[in-house]
Amino acid sequence: MSDTKTLNVLFLCTHNSARSILAEALLNHMGRGHFAAFSAGSSPRAQQQPHPLALETLRSAGIATEGLHSKSWDVFAASDAPLMDLVITVCDNAAGEVCPYWPGQPATAHWGYADPSAGDGSDDEKRAAFTQTLYQIRRRLELLVNLPLASLGMLSIQKEARRLAQS
C-alpha cells in the first residue's frame, strides 16, 4: 500500500465513459477517505465525455459527478501520476489489452461488467441497465471498503480484489 493510509484505485475500461466512471465516482463516495479512486480508458475517443446516463444514474443515487471526465490510461503511466495501489479492469476488452507499465507495481484484478451503454433499447431500458451496473459495482465495492486494508499486504489486497470478482 502507498505511504499514506489512502489506497489509490484505478478503474480501467476501453472508452472510460460508463463502467469505469461509475466505479470511480462510487468508490470515492463510499471510500470514506480510505480510498482515492480514478478511472481511465485504453482508447477514449477524442472529446469523449462520460456517458450522460452514467452521470444521470450517479446523480440519482446521490453521488457527486463533479470533475468526472474521460481520459487515457497513459495519464496514469506518466512519471508525475499518483501511484496506484490497485488497478481494476471493468470491461473484458480492457482486460485483454496490454496495459502500460504502472509505476509502483500495483495489485491488479478484473471485475467484468456488461456494457450498459451497448444496445438499442428504449431510454427506460438503458436507464435500468446503468442502474443495474451501478448496483453490481456497489456490491463489490462494499466488500472492498470493508476489508482490513491496514493489515493486508499488497499480495493479499490483490488476492482479495480478485476474489471479489467472483462475488
Most confident of 56-60, 85-89, 119-123: 56-60
Query: Which single residue is written with the C-alpha cell 476501453?
Result: 14
Q: How far is CA 84 from the centre of its chain?
A: 12
Q: 94-115: per-residue pLDDT in tens?
A: 556 666 777 778 999 999 999 9
Reported as a pLDDT band with limits 50, 70 and 90, residue 4 is very low
The DSSP annotation for 36-78 comes to EEEEEESSPPTT----HHHHHHHHHTT---TT----BGGGGGS
The domains located in the chain, with CATH, are: 7-156 (3.40.50.2300)
Q: 6-51: per-residue pLDDT in tens?
A: 899 999 998 999 999 999 999 999 998 899 999 999 888 777 799 9
User: Distance between CA atoms of 68 and 108, rounded to whole angstroms?
Assistant: 23
Per DSSP, what are the bridge partners of residue 8? Answer: 36
Q: How confident is the model over 143-147, as a mean pLDDT?
A: 90
Identify the pLDDT of residue 1: 44
55 or 78, which is more confident?
55
pTM (2 decimals)? 0.89
